[in-house]
Structure formats: C-alpha cells, structure tokens
Structure 1
Amino acid sequence: MRPLMIFAAGLGTRMRPLTDTRPKPLIPVGGRTLLDRALDMGRAAGAGPVVVNTHYLGDQIAAHLSDRDVAVSHEPGTILDTGGGLRQALPLLGRGPVMTLNPDVVWTGPNPLAALNAAWRDDMDALLMLVPLAQAAARRGAGDFSRDAGGRISRRGEYVYGGAQIIRPDRLADIPDRVFSLNRLWDLLIADGRAFGIVHGGGWCDVGYPEAIPLAEEVLHG
C-alpha cells in the first residue's frame, strides 16, 4: 500500500456561492460528493494510510469522515497551500513516496492512482497524471507541462496537470517557507530531470466553478 494525501483545505472561492456554507469537497457531483469520489478512487487503488487536510469549514469535513479510517490534518490559522499542507501531514503519511489527489476533478476510465502506481520507477521523484489540454473539460487557461519521449516533464505545453501524482517528499525540507505550493517542489525536481508524467486514458473534468458541475456530470455519464 502507498499513502495518499487528499487536499481538501482550499477556500473554494471560485465555487461561490455554493461554498458560502460548505467546503468545496463536500459539493455533490452526480449524486456523490467530490471528497467521497476521491476516497473511492484511493480505496480502489489500495491506498493507505489516507490523510485529508482541512482548513475552511474543516469541522464539516471532519464530521463527514468521523466514521472512516481516514486521518485529518487540520490547518488552523493560515492555510498552508499544497506544499506546506503536505509537509505538515508527513507524520501521518509515513516515509517514502506518497500519492496526492485533488478532489475537485472527476475522472472516467482507468483509475489514475492505480495507473501511477503501475508506472512508478525508482529513478522518479515525481510522476504526474497529465491530461491533454484539448480533452480537459471545463479547464480555463493554458496547459501546464510538456512531456518528452522519455516521459520527463517541463513547464508549459499541451498537457494539464490532472490533480493526481506520486511524489517523494524528501526535498520539502529544502523549502524554508511555511506556506508554499507544490509547484516549488516540482520546479526543483524538473531541474534535476526527475519529474515525469503519464497521460490519462479516460475522461476528465475540472470542477472548479459552479457552471462546471453539469459538464462534469456529462463526463461521468458519458
């Protein structure tokens, strides 16, 4: 089993007014909350332990998870962003490479976490699940990465980061800030030539704003 971190601490500002009274991970899409969809994906991929971080309306998420074997890493005060949040959660996750998952997307086709596990190699420090920009439903903006013939990634290109990865957390210790994005760690690993990507073989939709929910449900019901 490989540990899994689910990022659920965000403020959900793009999803207002739906997030005025509940955190974005608890918004239902296709009859199931985004967080439950992420947990189902982790369970199907054999993840463990599973950690969910919280900040905005975190008591609702903690109550939602109260009867499950899921640890909560709460971030009171200042939200730590993805890098700071992962670093805080490491005592709960344990050593070694960890999977991380953004719950505010929906997937169809192969389980992305299982696919990442199958493709992981010891020469990798990060393996990201990528989606071709042309197939990234509800995505706003340009692509995030390019990918060479060997799978190594570089900044800017025709692929979107899908929100699932395996990453070695060791070099988080090299970043002095308390609050920072995992983009900082990716840049270090890209510079070392140890950041890779594989391409998702199914559907994908960014559920980042209210108008994306019906688009996500179309993807799910394909």
Structure 2
Amino acid sequence: MSGPDTGREAGPDTGAAGHTGTPAGGICAVVLAAGEGTRLRPLTERVPKALCPVGNVPLLDRALARLGGLGLTGPETVAVNASYLGEQVVERVGTRAHLSVEPDGPLGTAGGLGRLRDWIGGRGVLVGNADAYLADPAAPPGPDIAALLRDWDGDSVRLLGRPAPDPTAPGTFDGHVFTGFSLLPWRLVRDLPPVFGDLVRAVWRPAEADGRLTVVPYPGIFVDTGTPADYLAANLHAAGDGSLVDPSATVTGDCHRSVVGAGATVAGEVTRSVVWPGATVDTGERLYEVIRAATGLTVPAT
C-alpha cells in the first residue's frame, strides 16, 4: 500500500538506462492528473478534468486501464500526480497507484516528474496525460501504445503521434501531433527539478535537436478532451452509433446518440449530449450537443 507522497521519499537508484532492450532499472509509468482543466470550465470548477467521465468511465480510469493492459499496475509501478481538487483524485486512485500530491499548485508535466524522481529511481518512464482519449478498435486497452516500448534502446525519447494536417505547424514533431503518451529515459528524468516546467521545453525539443527523438505512429482515434467540443466528441465516439446508458440510470424520455451516467434521470429529450452521473433532464427539456452536470449546470459544446 502506498499513501499520498506529500514530499520526497527515498527510492533505490537502480542504475542508468541500458542501451539494448529495456533499461537496467525497468519501466514505470506516470499518469499526469494535476492540471486545472481551465479550457473545460465551468465543468471543471467542481470536478478535476482527470475525473470527467468519457463513455461513463473517468478519464483517469481509462488511462490506468490502458497501462494495465501493458502489465503496468500497482503503486510500485504506476504513479499518479494530483494538485487541483487533488483530494478527489487521491480518493479515486486509492491504492491502485503511488500518489504524488503537489500542494502548492500544479508543477506542469516536467515538474510533476521531477517531484517523482526518487520514486522513479533509475527506471525508464512511460508518461501519459490523463485527459487523452485514445481508442484503437483493433486492440484492447494497452497494446495500442505497446509500440512505444517495443525494441526501445532505453536511451532515446519516444512520442506517440498521428500525422498532422499541417506537418510544418508549430507544436508538431516530425510532422505529427502528440497523442498523449511518451517514453523517457532515466538519464533525462534524473535531473528534472520539482519546480514548474513542461516536457516540451525540458526534454522533447532538446532530444529532437539532438536527433534522439522518435515519433511512433498511432493508428487509432485520439481526442484531446481539453474543450467542451472535444470532450463531447470523445463521448460520442465512445457511444458508437447509438446511446450509452448506465444500467442504473432512469430514462423515460428520448435518448439519441448520447451518454447517460450512473443514477441520472432523463425524462426529457437528449440528442448528441452527455448527462453526467446523478444529473437530471426534466420533462419538456430538450438538450442538443451539451453536457449536463449533476449540479444542473449545462455547458454547450459549441
């Protein structure tokens, strides 16, 4: 059992990364779940983005399941960082992963790893963004990102990516858009300070300039759920061609290609919308391309 890490804890330094196969210290995984989700407000005013449900499954749970599909489970192997509304993340994770709580605000993607440096302790790190929705219809959770680990030299940086509409646009890597997961060697993680910083500037671009960054093509669906429009798109994809209704929801109205969460009540009409767990759609209401929260908050997706 591993409780929240509110500071630094000592961890074994199992050595630098090797140059063939996996690194000498093995592989661990970190799910980044500390962000404030400002672009998704007001949905994230009371719920951290990592716990927003997609297809009736919190995004954080989707990320942990994906890592589980690779055999990466438990607090010795998987860590989750938390900050904004962090108590909710801590409660949700429980004993499924090591917890690193950032009490003074999110440290960013690089600072979050820097704070986990002792826990990482010489291992290569598979880093995933909790808000990344990935869906590869050809594979169950996990193998869609297994290509990041396959034949890794333990020394280079790998990013999962899809071809960009404009290969020369800022923010692309070798003509690809980053799709939520990266693989980093210990040699680049061990010197990251536990202060605010991002992996793009601290690790990815320097590795790219050094010729040691590789983009691994991702063939599936990727949605960055950062905005209401993208969040809705991810939910509609999860719902498929119909509606996805939790068995504990009560639907006496009409539901068209929507997602309805646990304990929700739909007496009106919902179309291409998301009804969060415990939310209510009253008789006579018609929702179209919106997200309805349990508090009664309704957020348009356009």
Kindly provide the amino acid, as one letter, of the partner of residue 149 in structure 2: N
Relative to structure 1, the CA distance from residue 171 to residue 213 in structure 2 (aligned partners, 3 Å threshold; closer, same or farther) is: closer
Quote the Cα distance in structure 1 between the aligned partners of 2:105 and 2:49: 18
Query: Quick one: higher RCO (CA 8 Å, sep 6+), 1 or 2?
Result: 1
Gaps of 5+ in 2: 1-25, 242-302
Matches of 1:69 and 1:174, distance apart in 2: 27
- Judging by fraction of residues, say which structure has more helix: 1
Q: Which runs of 5+ in 1 are unaligned?
A: 135-141, 148-157
**Which residue does 1:62 correspond to in 2?**
90
**What's 1:130 paired with?**
161
Query: Residues 34-53 of structure 1: matches in 2 within 5 Å?
Result: 34-48=59-73, 49-53=77-81
**Greater shift in the superposed pair: 32-41 or 82-91:** 82-91
- Distance between the aligned counterparts of 2:35 and 2:105, measured in 1? 11
Query: Tell me, what secondary structure is at the counterpart of 2:153?
Result: coil
Distance, in Å, in 2 between the alignment partners of 1:3 and 1:107 is 20
CA offset at residue 133 of structure 1?
A: 2.5
After superposition, the CA RMSD in angstroms is 2.2
Identify the range of structure 1 (186-195 vs 3-12) with the bigger mean alpha-carbon deviation: 186-195
Which whole-Å deviations, capped at 9, do the CAs of 1:37-62 have from their partners, x for residues lacking one?
A: 00000100112411000110000010
The equivalent of 1:6 in structure 2 is 31
Task: Pick the structure with greater CA Rg.
Answer: 2
Identity score, percent: 32
- The whole-number CA distance in structure 2 between the counterparts of 1:203 and 1:217 is 12
Q: Distance in 1 between matches of 2:146 and 2:163?
A: 19
Are residues 143 and 160 of structure 1, via their aligned partners in 2, closer, same or farther at CA, if it must alter by over 3 Å?
A: farther
Query: TM-score, normalization: structure 1?
Result: 0.83
Aligned residue number for residue 89 of structure 1: 116
Aligned positions, number? 204
Structure 1 stretches of 4+ moved >6 Å: none
1:92-171 maps to which residues of 2 (within 5 A)?
92-109=119-136, 110=139, 111-122=143-154, 124-134=155-165, 142=169, 144-147=171-174, 158-171=175-188
Which residue number in structure 1 is paired with residue 206 of structure 2? Answer: 188
